[in-house]
Structure 1
Amino acid sequence: MQLALFDLDNTLLAGDSDFQWGQFLIEQGLLNREEHLEKNLQFYEDYKAGKLDIYAFLEFQLKPLSQHPRSFLNELHTRYMQEKIAPMITDKARALVEKHRANGDLLMIITATNSFVTGPIAKAFGIDNLIGTLPEEIDGQFTGRSTGVPSFQEGKITRLNSWLEARGQTLQDFEQSWFYSDSHNDLPLMKLVDKPVAVDPDPTLKAYAEGEGWPVISLR
């Protein structure tokens, strides 16, 4: 069996699901536009520059989840999927996923964005396995904090190894392993798999991929 790992934002999606969740909440009147947008943009620039403080970002990202009942958040997410996510799912992205599915590969989305936002997106691709940063929940209510290791940079390796260990497997048990990503933040995991593929990559990843002879593709 082969393993196909996919980053989500700006890889399988032609955009960033986390950034768009914030934009959606602003449009719903649930966040202050000026305050949130400025901070969101700064975190996004830090991410692209490879200097994101993941814990500061998660505190910012997850706080809105703690301010509303889960049932209300679920209703919001349904509209968010229709308005923000559906337009970001390209035919090329779906075709890539289906190519690996037809090959019988084990499919997984592995993303730094939290699992509340990304869970329904993974289902939209028909992918059952998701590793995302975990928002803490107590008695069905989000606390605004994260739990466990954030699936960001080297944290993706930690979380993937834990998931595989729970299955009685290691990465080396697969005939081939693939990882598709757009971001240089994913270089730690890309260097571990057999088949790293740069997807609409940022300049740093593109330069590295070309230097290593990795495939560079577009799903746009």
Structure 2
Amino acid sequence: MVECWQHGDGLAMQIYNYPVVFFDLDDSLINKDANSLWIKWRFKHERWALVEASQALASLYRAYKKGRVTHRRLSNYYRTRTRGMTLDQYRLQVQRFFQERGRLHIYPQAASLLFAYRRQGTQLVMITGSDDVVAAAYSEALGIDNVISNRLKVEQQRITGLELPMCYGDGKVALAAQFLQQQGLSFADAAFYTDSHSDLPLLQAVAQPVVLNPNSALRESALQHGWPCLDWRQA
């Protein structure tokens, strides 16, 4: 039987000896979904965000968590989210968001875990469905040098959606494999921490899967596979 260990238990700071460790962001290194935090912040400053929130909740968030999101659906959301902003305008918005709200939701335990891996010389990689601008803000704060994320599509200096492949589901596996190949490595050289059932393809690919703050579906999968399971939410 696999239990979810809380911070303070021995497993909570167990470090695995692999050259590369991948980390999900949403509900893993941070205690909320970054898109949800963004929407709440935006609504506080601009009422237009109600449209964005309605679209996200109605057609995107549930599908994302269940592993059913499509590129078209996610690109449509980003067109609503940015409303034709230039990349520089969006970066400025994200900087404000991160300073006022986003940085407040980083798990304290994440800093300790990442420090321990850096000390042993592990390459840390954030691999997330957040866009590259949001991911960069969190990776800089967390001291993670390598980032794999969804990439904003820009045409004539305006954001028009997302590039392919998506960093999601099987797309995450392909992008992680590409990163490892560039390092002369394979999935046998990697571990992965995540909270989401939609990340099962990558969990099943790496040598050391670690389930972190799992939803109920992923907790059940961890039980079935005998994967280590950590839960920082009750610490």
Of residues 175, 198, 201, the one that matches 2:211 is: 198
Offset of residue 193 of structure 1: 1.1
Offset of residue 127 of structure 1: 0.5
Distance 1:49 1:161 in 2: 23
Of residues 122, 142, 160, the one that matches 2:139 is: 122
CA offsets 1:112-132 (integer angstroms, 9 cap, x no match): 111122111111111110000
Aligned-residue identity in percent? 25
Of residues 151, 167, 180, the one that matches 2:167 is: 151
1:188 maps to a residue whose letter is P
1:8 maps to a residue whose letter is L
CA offsets 1:14-49 (integer angstroms, 9 cap, x no match): 11112222332222216241x322221232122223
Offset of residue 145 of structure 1: 1.9
Q: Which moved more, 1:142-151 or 1:45-54?
A: 45-54
C-alpha change, 1:63 and 1:27, in structure 2 (3 Å) is same
- Structure 1 residue runs of 4+, over 4 Å off? none
Structure 1 counterpart of 2:202: 189
Q: Give the gaps of 5 or more residues in structure 2.
A: 1-17
C-alpha change, 1:62 and 1:128, in structure 2 (3 Å) is farther
Distance 2:24 2:207 in 1: 16
Structure 2 counterpart of 1:14: 31
Distance 1:82 1:208 in 2: 36
**Residue 74 of structure 1: SS of its match in structure 2?**
helix
2:92 maps to a residue whose letter is E
Q: Conserved in 1, the CA contact under 8 Å of 2:78 and 2:162?
A: no
C-alpha change, 1:65 and 1:216, in structure 2 (3 Å) is same
Structure 2 counterpart of 1:94: 111
CA offsets 1:39-74 (integer angstroms, 9 cap, x no match): 212321222233323431232124433522333322
Q: Give the gaps of 5 or more residues in structure 1.
A: none
Structure 2 counterpart of 1:208: 221
C-alpha change, 1:76 and 1:47, in structure 2 (3 Å) is same
Q: Conserved in 2, the CA contact under 8 Å of 1:66 and 1:142?
A: no
Q: Which moved more, 1:101-110 or 1:52-61?
A: 52-61
Q: Which moved more, 1:210-219 or 1:126-135?
A: 210-219
Offset of residue 79 of structure 1: 1.6
